[in-house]
Amino acid sequence: MAELKKTPLNGEHRALGAKMVDFGGWDMPVQYTSILDEHAAVRTRAGLFDVSHMGEVWIEGRQALDLVQFLSSNDASKLAVGQIQYSGLLTPRGCFVDDMLVHNDGESRFLLVVNASNTEKDYAWILSQAGRFDAKVTNRSPETAQIAIQGPRALGILQPLVKGLELSPIKYYWYGYGTVLGESCLVARTGYTGEDGFEIYCPPAFAPALWRALLEAGRADGLIPAGLGARDTLRLEACMALYGNDIDDTTTVLEADLAWILKLSKPGDFNGRPVLERQKAEGVGRRLVAFELLDRGIPRHGHDCYAGSEKVGHVTSGTLAPFLKRPLGMAYLPTALAEAGSLFEVDIRGKRVPAKVVPKPFYKRPKG
């Protein structure tokens, strides 16, 4: 077995007594004390995540925007400098090489943040598509650590550590550069939890000092370190897709119910456009839905869905939602069954449990 990759915070996790797991080739903390406690902390106070395993690919040069537009389902020309959008990195068939965050860094420069276990694949894919564009593609993942502080108290904990950047005026999905404990960092108001919060991109050598300083600064506010287990349940309550579960290179953007990141109105050709134009005109055969179980049980990734005796789809993600305290999940179902209110059954280890399609998301943070 190949040796697992480690983030610069690996020693911190071990010192905190985290339970470590192999996550796509990375040695990562799944939990420190309890997934339920860590989940609750993020919803009600704040949690600190090591997301240094995520990939950072930079595209810069005269035709950087043109290349991003060709790769991406969303319309990056709409991004102001310092603005971020969620998008699909598409295959020619309109499916996902990956999902990503596109940052407009100004001066014809874009930062794409991609999934850890896809970084090498994505980078190779982008390079393979980049030939006819006057743009330079650089994988700066090894030189970039990332820490996410998430939860209603994240801003109050982080701000005192940041110089030269006022955090409260930064809108959701915008970012800026500031000095954190003397180190220049990119600070983005983004996250994968459904809460307010920030993602801080910094040099790897600085990450342990930042991690410790944040834990210390947030102690009185109830900030605790949170692992990948809580990250997964938090994102699922917020109906954010997980690559490899809910979306992959066999699911199109429209099947994934992500029409809002597909901008067919943008000019020029892009990967997947013909397939997606046809799908939009003709309609999709299946769609990713949110559902709740109507009886006891826990739906899990891979469980089959039935309408009567007919197998009609499968669960892509499922859990007993820690904050909402309901068994829920996402599943691909035929379009005829994909409207809110539709009833079907989930096969949980041989037992059929009734389920109902519900509107997305399950959880939306209170505005305040």
Residues that bind other proteins (CB under 8 A): 19, 30-31, 34-36, 229, 232-233, 296-298, 300, 319-320, 322, 349
Closest to other proteins by CB, 30 vs 290, is 30
Closest to other proteins by CB, 151 vs 227, is 227
Q: How far is the CB of 30 from other proteins (least distance, A)?
A: 7
Q: How far is the CB of 298 from other proteins (least distance, A)?
A: 5
Q: Which residues of 26-58 are buried (b: 16+ CB within 10 A; e: fewer)?
A: bbbbbbbbebeebbbbbbebbbbbbbbbbbbbb
Closest to other proteins by CB, 225 vs 229, is 229
Closest to other proteins by CB, 146 vs 319, is 319
Closest to other proteins by CB, 33 vs 91, is 33
Q: How far is the CB of 297 from other proteins (least distance, A)?
A: 7
Closest to other proteins by CB, 36 vs 181, is 36
Q: How far is the CB of 356 from other proteins (least distance, A)?
A: 19
Alpha carbon distance 129, 244 (integer Å): 22
Strand 109-114: give its sheet, edge to edge: 84-90, 96-106, 109-114, 55-60, 136-139
Q: Which residue has the tokens 């280890």?
A: 349
Closest to other proteins by CB, 300 vs 360, is 300
Mark residue 24 as left, alpha or beta (left: phi above 0; alpha: psi -120 to 50; beta: remaining): left
Q: How far is the CB of 42 from other proteins (least distance, A)?
A: 14
Q: How far is the CB of 324 from other proteins (least distance, A)?
A: 12
Q: How far is the CB of 350 from other proteins (least distance, A)?
A: 11
